Amino acid sequence: MKWWTQVGRVGRYLVLLICLSKATAEIDRTPGEAINPNGNTEITLTKETGEIVIISITQMKTGESAPYKGALLWGGDIDVIPTYVLSSVAVHERDESIFVPMSAYGDLGDVKFGSVEATKGGFVIKLHGGGTATGYDATLTFHRGYLVSRAVRSREFPNERNEVTTYAFPKGS
């Protein structure tokens, strides 16, 4: 067997191993910290300035008495409500509470993972929830101590099923 044939085989195996390891790394990457399905989860961020942001996320089990049914909740589907729904999101920065209205989280069901990332002048909370067909990504954007926007997008049809909300709170509220 010629030497270039052996080199070609080894090269193909190396390429295959590299591709497999990259695919495995992509599969293993979780989009943040696991969120407790029926209870409280705390996520923290330490900014470059040393300031600490603490996010407390609480989910509760939904039941037959849940007022909203089906696709009215993110993570739900036609005639199917999510098993869990966010019941509170509390945010503290520099030992001060930041107001987060229920409209920013109250329709997010079956949240699986969450993360927080620093941005210029604020931070972003990213939540990932739902199941295979009902998966969604939610982003809550905070700037200078205020919630400024919320964006929720279906993972399956992000351009067809999404909503963006902007918030404007007067200073001192």
| Average pLDDT of span 120-135 | 93
pLDDT at 160 over 70: yes
Domain edges within the chain:
1-30, 31-166
Q: For 6-47, what is each residue's pLDDT tens digit?
A: 545 545 544 444 444 443 333 334 568 999 998 999 999 999
Tell me which residue of 37, 35, 75, 73 sits closest to 56, measured CA to CA: 35
Q: pTM here?
A: 0.79
Taking all residues of the chain, what is their mean pLDDT, rounded to a whole number? 83
> How confident is residue 63, by pLDDT bands cut at 50, 70 and 90?
confident
Q: CA dist 45 to 37, 52, 142, 159, Å?
A: 21, 6, 13, 30
